[in-house]
């Protein structure tokens, strides 16, 4: 236990709860009731909250550094392995898709022979062909253990994790779930003194907007890099989702400007890790290192490809802006 915590605990134990610094209320959080309260009192949040406090106590780091370290550890042991596994699934699916093209040719040949032999009608032929095709596809999926639903495994893991971590940090700011607890009051006091640079108090918002804007820029960069790393023309659905994510990246900036700085710091750190993770996972060398198989669509020099794609896109955009301004 840190020296500050020992002193604070001694002082707080001699005071009544009325003397505690009142918890600040923020416009965003004031509207989050009901479900939000249920989540904040849940068991996963309690364990994560205890883990954050434990890392802070063991490391003796200031709270801002403890939040950064905790975020990197959680993402390294949970999100990164899920992302690697997802890339393996995507690669296996691409391989069996190529294999499936040969199976389709064989099925068409066998179907044509069956029509002559058994005299199937067009409807019967279509039913039998689709049945055989689905059976072969399912056999390949089982063989390679690569169900398409697994391509969303990062979202299934990352979104709940992000919510639980966010609620846990929010709980510490609001001394939840038990504001009368001495330990909760100590953590709150430490957060007010555990800031850095322009944010000495992590329980207040970032008045400079540096962290919120940084988060927006990082999230926008992730979207653009993912878009630039594609080798195929995106579908209409992909374009719609890309534009939606761009809008959300911008909308998150004013939202981040209304939450405590410690929470915004977690969001920025998580986004920065996500940016590094995305850049790492396009590297062929890293993919071979973690066991992601090579596929035809893999880019030999991904960083050069991303750089060229982004440069081409934004030079074209600037040219359009110049033309429209004339």
Name 13's bridge partners. none
**pLDDT band with cut points at 50, 70 and 90 for residue 95:** very high
Residue matched to tokens 């064989």: 106
Among the listed residues 20, 74, 58, the one whose alpha carbon sits nearest the alpha carbon of residue 188: 20
pLDDT at 71 over 90: yes
CB-count exposure of residue 244 (10 Å: 0-12, 13-18, 19+)? exposed
pLDDT at 301 over 90: yes
3-state secondary structure at position 292 = coil
What is the rounded average pLDDT for all residues in the chain?
A: 87
Q: What is the mean pLDDT of residues 71-91?
A: 96
Reported as type and span, the H/E element at residue 289 is helix 284-289
Where helices occur in 41-120 by DSSP H, the ranges are: 43-59, 63-74, 80-118
More confident of the two residues 198 and 10: 198
**pLDDT band with cut points at 50, 70 and 90 for residue 59:** very high
Predicted local confidence at residue 100, as pLDDT = 92
Are 40 and 177 in contact by the 8 Å Cβ rule? The answer is yes
Name 196's bridge partners. 199
Q: What is the mean pLDDT of residues 288-307?
A: 93
Tokens coding 157: 């893991």
**pLDDT band with cut points at 50, 70 and 90 for residue 28:** very low
pLDDT at 67 over 50: yes
Least confident of 19-28, 162-171, 270-279, 306-315: 19-28
Q: What is the mean pLDDT of residues 45-58?
A: 96
Predicted local confidence at residue 60, as pLDDT = 93
CA 323 – CA 134 distance, rounded (Å) = 52
pLDDT in tens, 106-155: 998 888 888 888 888 888 888 888 999 999 999 999 999 999 999 999 98
CB-count exposure of residue 193 (10 Å: 0-12, 13-18, 19+)? middle
Predicted local confidence at residue 45, as pLDDT = 95
pLDDT in tens, 197-250: 999 999 999 999 999 999 999 999 999 999 888 877 878 888 898 899 999 999
Are 249 and 219 in contact by the 8 Å Cβ rule? The answer is yes
Size (the chain), residues: 326
The model's pTM is 0.84
Q: What is the mean pLDDT of residues 20-34?
A: 49
3-state secondary structure at position 222 = helix
Predicted local confidence at residue 19, as pLDDT = 41
């Amino acid at each position: 236990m840190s020296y500050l915590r020992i002193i604070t605990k001694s002082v707080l134990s001699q005071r009544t709860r009325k003397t505690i610094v009142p918890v600040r209320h923020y416009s965003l959080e004031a509207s989050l009731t009901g479900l939000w309260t249920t989540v904040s009192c849940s068991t996963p949040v309690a364990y994560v909250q205890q883990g954050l406090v434990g890392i802070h106590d063991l490391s003796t780091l200031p709270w801002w550094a403890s939040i950064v370290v905790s975020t990197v550890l959680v993402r390294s042991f949970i999100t990164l392995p899920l992302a690697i596994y997802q890339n393996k699934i995507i690669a296996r699916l691409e391989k069996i898709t190529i294999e499936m093209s040969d199976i389709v040719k064989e099925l068409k040949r066998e179907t044509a022979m069956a029509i002559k032999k058994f005299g199937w009608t067009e409807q019967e032929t279509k039913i039998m062909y689709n049945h055989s095709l689905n059976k072969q596809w399912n056999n390949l999926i089982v063989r390679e253990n690569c169900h398409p639903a697994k391509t969303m495994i990062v979202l299934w893991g990352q979104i709940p994790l992000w919510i639980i971590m966010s609620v846990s940090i929010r709980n510490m700011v609001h001394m939840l779930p038990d504001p009368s607890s001495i330990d909760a009051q100590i953590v709150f006091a430490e957060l007010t003194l555990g800031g850095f640079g322009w944010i000495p108090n992590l329980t207040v918002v970032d008045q400079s907007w540096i962290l919120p804007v940084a988060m927006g820029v990082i999230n926008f960069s992730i979207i653009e890099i993912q878009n630039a790393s594609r080798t195929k023309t995106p579908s209409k659905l992909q374009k719609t989702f890309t534009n939606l994510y761009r809008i959300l990246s911008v909308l998150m900036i004013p939202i981040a400007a209304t939450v405590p700085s410690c929470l915004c710091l977690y969001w920025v750190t998580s986004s920065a890790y996500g940016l590094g993770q995305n850049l790492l996972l396009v590297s062929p060398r890293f993919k071979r290192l973690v066991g992601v198989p090579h596929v035809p669509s893999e880019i030999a020099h991904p960083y050069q490809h991303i750089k060229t794609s982004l440069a081409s896109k934004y030079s074209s955009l600037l040219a359009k802006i110049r033309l429209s301004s004339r």
